[in-house]
Amino acid sequence: MQANILTTLAGNRIESEAKAREALAGEAADMAQALTPYAIRKAMQAAADAMPWRMLMEDQESESEEQAFLQLRERLTGQLVNAISSSSSCTITNEEDRLKWDGVRRFLRDTEYLVEALNAPQEPATAPEPPKPPTPARRATPTPAQRKAMELIAKGGMRRTQFGMKDPIRISSEHGRIYADTLDVLEREGWAKVDHSTSLFHGQTVNLTDLGASHLPA
């Protein structure tokens, strides 16, 4: 699984919980206004949504990222199937229980595409092609957009990824993003090379060739 995907998703949920808690604390501290059920429920829902992601982060301390993720989904699915709705005389307790299992359902639903990607057959590794001698004389001259793309690749970290069958292929790094048709031209002209030995889900490294680097300023 590509590094930081689950960590990023978990961070977003936990950050949302923190903001909801801060909003509730701010409302509770204001003695001039009533404490509304809306703020309380919003904080409870944010906490319920963040709970499975907190569990995942804890499990990752002792298990690999993929193993912890799959095991947690299996464990939560079993708990959800056997769960019995709370019948407490306290309405807030019943609402907390309902929100908890709603949070589990959303976690399982929102991460289903990652399970499909993990179970998808891996692309077979292809034997590397023998190196071809550079022939700049018969190569096209890169356009400004293609040269800009090569500059982004030269900075490093460029990867070609796709997290689900329905998701578009992304070619990006922390420095920027490249359009797929632009990368196709760079590959065809021998200016860039994609490592097709790994799957799109795990990410395929994009590197600049010596020929591509010859088109950039020294």
Return the domain boundaries, the chain.
5-119, 136-213
Per-residue confidence at 83, pLDDT binned at 50, 70, 90? confident
Q: Tell me the one-letter amino acid at 64.
A: S
Output 155 or 123, whichever has higher pLDDT. Answer: 155
Q: Which of 34-43, 55-64, 106-115 has the lowest mean pLDDT?
A: 55-64
**CA torsion 75→9→123→150, rounded to 10°?**
-170
pTM of the model: 0.50
What is the rounded average pLDDT of the residues 144-172? Answer: 86
Per-residue confidence at 52, pLDDT binned at 50, 70, 90? very high
pLDDT in tens, 201-212: 778 999 999 999
Q: CA 160, CA 81: separation in Å to the nearest integer?
A: 38
Token pair belonging to 109: 């639903």
Q: CA 1, CA 96: separation in Å to the nearest integer?
A: 33
Q: Which of 1-10, 56-65, 128-137, 194-203 has the lowest mean pLDDT?
A: 128-137
Of all residues in the chain, the percent with pLDDT exceeding 70 is 87
Gyration radius (Cα) of the chain, Å = 24
Calculate the average pLDDT of the chain.
84
- Residue 4: pLDDT above 70? no
- Residue 62: pLDDT above 90? no
